[in-house]
Structure 1
Amino acid sequence: MQEVKKEQYSDVKALIHNKETCFPTFVYSVLEQTIPGVVYADDQSFLIGTSSGIYYVAGDERNRNFNEFIVELYKKRAESQKRFTLFSPNRSWDSVIKTVLQNELDQMMRYAFSQQISAIKAFQLPKGFTLKRINEDIILRSTEFQKAYYEAYWGSVSNFLKNGFGFAVLYDNHVVSECTSIFLGCNRAEMDIYTHEEYRGMGFAYFAGSKFINDCLENGVTPSWDCDASNKSSIHLSKKLGFEISTKYSIFFKKSG
């Protein structure tokens, strides 16, 4: 199995563009070298992963050598207690992953959404609340999207501030709600939203999400949304923001305990 050189990433991107499959945003983030990652490939299959341990596999699921490579990669990461999350493109791959890894991984179903409407008209924030673009100061104040979050998904805070974006609702300099780009690639920005428990149910996630979507559309970027199929609150918010379910897929992740 060969690790693809970074100067060949554009060739891999051109190759997957010719396929009908809708690839996760992080795949393009790696291929465009917006975030650190790795690509493995042979003449039948490929595996694209982030430095944080999120992978996407595609190609011929009957490729025994490649499947054995995935098993070895999983074992190495498990031994080092590193994250291993594998996105599957279809049910055939679901079956193969469960077979070759002998059910060592948990399976979870997720939805991918597509945005169906144009710009959103957001409501007025209550008195005392402000909206700001995420910067280093807001990251320091955040209770969820902290420095460790951006180091995991973007490689560093500085890389996020250079290539990513997001918005936060604040009250008295405390971060109340945030919508940030967890990944950005192929002119798509995948949204990640969090609201402090004390302020949930007040519409702040909708407000931050609206600002994020409008900023995307103003800059020719397509907002995207993925979530676990069991996350009812996320599904509800996504629909309020104009998203509709486009596909259902599996991810496999290392069991805890």
Structure 2
Amino acid sequence: MGGDAKLKVVEEYLKDLPFFATLMFGSEGWPPILKSVHPKKWLAMPRFAFRSDHLEVKHLQELIDRLSDEYRIEKINLAMAKQIMSEKNKLTAEQLFGFADAEDFLERGIGYCVFAGEEMVSISAAGAACKNGIEIQVNTLSEREGQGLGTAVSAALIIDCLERGIDPNWDAATKISAGLAKKLGYSPNGEYLVYVFTKFKIIAQFVRFLRRILRRDVIEP
């Protein structure tokens, strides 16, 4: 959002925000307005932006080659996309959110999975897509973390994007994701805040408490 935050229409818009609406701003003056309309009902989450102009296929392939023979990487086909979208669990819950259905994903998106035998254990795919780029979302089963799965599967996705002239955009919500971006070859491009409307003060307080326990970044807006 941008423009003059002091306009009357802004206050009216903010009063009608839906639960967990997420806002980001291109101009100053907005955070005080948020707090005045809905005091103590906001979560301010830092995000880390990255540039993709220095990615190197050779480096990405080296990351893929480090993957253990226990695993294999496969490009997401229609059957996999349907499985990801229909069987929502801790691995797939955040995946393919910007697509209407599996067919829409196959038409506009792109993604890769890591398998251990027949089990899908890591996914790196377009969460959303536009004509010339995608927003990458990567998830790995917690019990499989620390083995380079997210790194390898993301590298495979990025190589495919680069070969097809698609911008593999990476925008990190956590320092872990930011670290992975740097490992893959992305260049840091600054930090910014997104504001999440919780509607109720108790929810904002609980989420801040929970994220501190989990050591996730959260800022008092």
1:247 pairs, out of 175, 190, 208, with 190
Counterpart in the other structure of 2:23 = 86
Counterpart in the other structure of 1:182 = 127
Counterpart in the other structure of 1:131 = 73
In 2, the alpha carbon distance for the partners of 1:249 and 1:148 equals 22
Counterpart in the other structure of 1:205 = 150
In 1, the alpha carbon distance for the partners of 2:22 and 2:74 equals 32
Letter in 1 for 2:5: E
Q: Provide the identity percentage.
A: 24
In 1, the alpha carbon distance for the partners of 2:32 and 2:46 equals 14
Contact (CA 8 Å) 1:89, 1:250: kept in 2 or not? no
More deviation, 116-125/164-173: 116-125
Letter in 1 for 2:50: F
Deviating beyond 3 angstroms after TM superposition, the runs of 4 or more aligned structure 1 residues are 141-150
- Displacement of 1:137 in angstroms is 2.9
Counterpart in the other structure of 1:68 = 12
Counterpart in the other structure of 2:178 = 235
Counterpart in the other structure of 2:214 = none
Letter in 2 for 1:138: M
Matched, 1:196 2:134: no
In 1, the alpha carbon distance for the partners of 2:130 and 2:11 equals 27
- Displacement of 1:124 in angstroms is 4.9
Aligned ranges for residues 1-257 of structure 1 at < 5 Å?
57-72=1-16, 74=17, 77-78=18-19, 83-115=20-52, 116-119=54-57, 120-121=60-61, 122-139=64-81, 140=83, 143-144=89-90, 146=92, 149-150=95-96, 152-185=97-130, 187-228=132-173, 231-255=174-198, 256=203
Which 5+ residue runs of structure 2 have no aligned equivalent?
207-221
Call closer, same or farther: CA 1:108–1:221 in 2, change over 3 Å: same
Letter in 1 for 2:24: F
- Displacement of 1:160 in angstroms is 1.6
Contact (CA 8 Å) 1:90, 1:249: kept in 2 or not? no
CA RMSD, 1 decimal: 2.4
Which 5+ residue runs of structure 1 have no aligned equivalent?
1-56
Q: Relative contact order, CA 8 A, sep 6+: which one is greater? A: 2
Length, aligned pairs only: 191
Letter in 1 for 2:178: I
Give the strand-richer structure, 1 or 2.
1
More deviation, 90-99/153-162: 90-99
Contact (CA 8 Å) 1:87, 1:252: kept in 2 or not? yes
Contact (CA 8 Å) 2:92, 2:139: kept in 1 or not? no
In 2, the alpha carbon distance for the partners of 1:149 and 1:214 equals 20
Call closer, same or farther: CA 1:183–1:104 in 2, change over 3 Å: same
Letter in 2 for 1:117: L
Contact (CA 8 Å) 2:95, 2:125: kept in 1 or not? no
Call closer, same or farther: CA 1:155–1:87 in 2, change over 3 Å: farther
- 1:161-187 deviation digits (Å, cap 9, x = unpaired): 221111001111111211011121252
Letter in 1 for 2:14: I
- Displacement of 1:211 in angstroms is 0.8
| Secondary structure of 1:89's aligned partner | coil
In 2, the alpha carbon distance for the partners of 1:67 and 1:113 equals 32
Letter in 2 for 1:118: E
